[in-house]
Amino acid sequence: MKDYKKLLDNDVKCDCGRVHFVPIKDVDFTFKASNVTDIVKKYISGSELLVVIDYHTDEQINNEILKELEGKGFNLTVVRFTDKKLVPDERAVGAILMHSVRGTDGILAVGSGTINDLARFVGSRMEIPVISIATAPSMDGYAAAGSSLVVKGAKKTLKAVPVTAIYGDVDVIANAPFEMIQAGYGDIIGKKTSLADWALSRVVTGEYWCDDIVKLVEDSTDICIENSKKIAERDIESIKHLIEALVLSGIAMSMADDTRPASGSEHLISHYMVMKNIEKGEMIPSHGITVAFGTLVVSMLYEFLKENEIFKTQDDSRSVIEAVDKYVPTVEQTKEWLEIIGLPVSPEGYGVDEAYLEEMILKAGFIRDRFTIFRYLDKLGILNDAAKYVLAKMF
């Protein structure tokens, strides 16, 4: 994998015509709790430290980190969430702000996706540095500039700023609940369809494109897919590939100043499923696992597109196929990846029936202003036919 540390805290002049800058100063997964004091002192000037954690990782790392920081000259304010499934909404943001003290110098976030989204958002509004200690390979937001939050019941990515530095103990990360490993892997295979959507938009709408960013995402994704079985076995080196790939996705988003390199139609399906669960008052599903399901659905939509006669009559059909074929997986490949990591290959395994799947295909593509396979099928007037095609394959 490319030495991504060269991309950190450095102006990178790119052939795409832009100068990329990722403000993250360090990423290191050889971290141990005994290092935390030195790291905090390096990046946070002052003694008022806000620590955001949740109870799930108390025994694995939280208690050790807090013990290490105590008596080292810090005034610690600890926000400890005890929710079974923490929702990153207005209530959670408010809880952090309510517990923070005037003059807080920095935030230490110890946890996985939700904890980091919340801490990053609060840190951006308080204009203080945030250090992230990753505890699970569950999502690609560790290095992202935006925070994925639930606002008035809708999943939105709000502009924030990347964290100052990212650390993690790979032994702790590898022993995270297996569902979180499945989620991280699901998020990673979703990069295949997100890149296909980006390539599609490049051809159809002339959207900005950067070969270096694409290669960064593609290479790190391919390493994880090559090591799928070892990831499922919690092999340490393979889990390190997974967490690094997730961080690299965030770095790619920072380089593009947009989520486009790592979020396409598969993420729209995931966001739609989250929104529907919130509407029904049900526990929100895991982001990465719903992305995995979205990847399967989208692979079928691309299969339908390439076989469709109306599409074949379009002047740009050959260019579209040439652009997306490099990235989009076949349905068979996607099912194989899901099976290796122990995820269902049928919609019932995700709590999705025929009516819900049809609704999802017809509506998910329009909850955000992003050109994906959904909007292209709609533009051609064949989105309804595509939905029927997927339903026939899945039920």
- Amino acid identity of 376? Y
User: What pLDDT was estimated at residue 153?
Assistant: 80
Beta strands in the chain, from DSSP E residues, in sequence order: 11-13, 19-21, 26-28, 48-54, 75-81, 106-111, 130-134, 146-151, 154-159, 165-168
pLDDT of residue 288: 95
pLDDT of residue 36: 96
Q: What is the pLDDT of residue 182?
A: 98
For residue 86, the model assigns a pLDDT of 87
In this prediction, residue 284 has a pLDDT band, given cuts at 50, 70 and 90, of confident
How is the chain split into domains, by residue range? 31-173, 178-394
d(CA 16, CA 22): 16
Q: Which two tokens stand for residue 327?
A: 């990235």
Query: Quick one: how far is CA 195 from the chain centroid?
Result: 14
* Residue 115 in tokens: 């904890």
Cβ atoms of 202 and 372 within 8 Å: the answer is no
Cα 4 from Cα 341, distance rounded (Å): 26
User: For position 171, what pLDDT does the model report?
Assistant: 95
CB of 250 within 8 A of CB of 141? yes
- pLDDT at residue 76 in the model: 95
Q: Residue 295's CB: how many other CB atoms inside 10 A?
A: 30
pLDDT of 3 over the 80 cut: no
What pLDDT shows up at residue 146? 81
Q: What per-residue confidence (pLDDT) applies to 8?
A: 93
Using one digit for the tens of pLDDT, what is the confidence trace for 367-380?
999 999 999 999 99
C-alpha 285/C-alpha 263 separation (Å) is 17
Task: Give the whole-angstrom CA distance, residue 306 versus residue 84.
Answer: 43
What SS3 state is found at 284? coil
- The per-residue pLDDT for 291 is 98
* Confidence label for 1 from pLDDT (cuts 50, 70 and 90): very low
Give residue 145's pLDDT band: very low, low, confident or very high (50, 70, 90). confident
pLDDT at 176 over 70: yes
Q: Which residues of 81-94 are buried (b: 16+ CB within 10 A; e: fewer)?
A: beeeebbbbeebbe
The 10s digit of each residue's pLDDT in 201-244 is 999 999 999 999 999 999 999 999 999 999 999 999 999 999 99
The CA distances from residue 389 to 199, 264, 306, 315, in Å, are: 23, 20, 12, 24
| pTM for this prediction | 0.94
Dihedral sign computed on CA atoms, order 214, 112, 171, 181:
negative
84 versus 312: which is more confidently predicted?
312
Average pLDDT, the chain: 94
Distance (Å, whole) CA 367 – CA 154:
9
Q: What is the pLDDT of residues 8-57, one digit of tens each?
A: 998 999 999 999 999 999 999 999 999 999 999 999 999 999 999 999 89
Range 361-367 average pLDDT: 97
Asked whether residue 4 carries a pLDDT value surpassing 80, the answer given is: no
User: Average pLDDT for residues 266-275, to the nearest whole number?
Assistant: 95
SS3 state at 285: coil
Answer CATH for 178-394 from 3.30.420.480, 1.20.1090.10, 1.10.150.170, 3.90.470.10? 1.20.1090.10
Q: Specify the range with the lowest mean pLDDT, choosing from 50-54, 282-286, 298-302.
A: 282-286
CATH of domain 31-173: 3.40.50.1970
Q: What's the CA gap between 62 and 39, in Å, rounded?
A: 16
Q: What is the mean pLDDT of residues 126-133?
A: 96
Q: Say if CB 60 and CB 116 are below 8 A apart.
A: no
Q: Is the dihedral of CA 88, 371, 317, 363 positive or negative?
A: positive
